[in-house]
Each structure stands twice: as C-alpha cells, then as structure tokens.
Amino acid sequence: AQSVTQLGSHVSVSEGALVLLRCNYSSSVPPYLFWYVQYPNQGLQLLLKYTTGATLVKGINGFEAEFKKSETSFHLTKPSAHMSDAAEYFCAVSASNDYKLSFGAGTTVTVRA
C-alpha cells in the first residue's frame, strides 16, 4: 500500500521568493509520484510526474521536483513565486502495477505582493 504525507497545510511566500512544498511517501514497491495543482473552484491539473529515469523532474509553470529514494521524498520547488501560483497543491503516489492514486491532504499556497 502507498501513502503520502504533505508537511504544512499552508505556506505563505512573497512574490519572487522560493516556493518549497514538502512531500514524503511510503510505498512497498517502486513508486510513481505526482504533483497536482488546484485553482479555486476547479478540478486538479497535473504539474509533473516521476515514473522512472531522471530523478529531477520538470513540470509546467516553472515547477520542478526531485525524487529522493533514500529520503522517501518528492519535494516541489519553484525558484520565484508569482501571484498566479496561489492555489492548493497535492502530492500523490501510486505503484507501477496499480492504477489507484493515494493523495496527501494538500498544501495551500498564498503569495504576498
């Protein structure tokens, strides 16, 4: 079984500052990892995913995440926050032989001008 823990339910950053969202996973098999973003009153949109291969994954809107097996982590970063990054972010995990996702509780990002 897979599970995800997102550290911090709310993160506040200044515009132009680094965005760092933390995600730790638990999985009994090699994991597939995902970050989704949800803007108010909308569905979830995929930011990026890790399946196999390169451990540093680049996604849309300038976000990237690094898979660290030794730390069971998949933290999401963006070097410079923009006002449009204000949203809720979800980390999710699945296994390569499974089609179900397990989601974290989410982290809400606010961006201060």
Partner 1 sequence: DAGITQSPRHKVTETGTPVTLRCHQTENHRYMYWYRQDPGHGLRLIHYSYGVKDTDKGEVSDGYSVSRSKTEDFLLTLESATSSQTSVYFCAISGLAGDEQFFGPGTRLTVL
Question: Least distance (Å) from partner 1 to the CB of residue 46?
Answer: 5
Task: Pick between residue 81 and residue 90 the one whose CB is nearest to partner 1.
Answer: 90
Binding-residue pattern over the window 18 to 57 for partner 1, x denoting contact by CB under 8 A: --------------x-x-x----xxxxxx--x-x------
Stretch that binds partner 1, among 16-24, 57-65, 69-77, 94-102 (CB under 8 A): 94-102
Long-range CB pairs of 105-109, under 8 A, 24+ apart, other chains included:
105/6, 105/9, 106/6, 106/9, 106/38, 107/6, 107/8, 107/9, 107/10, 107/11, 107/21, 108/9, 108/10, 108/11, 109/10, 109/11, 109/12, 109/13, 109/19, 109/21, 109/81, 109/85
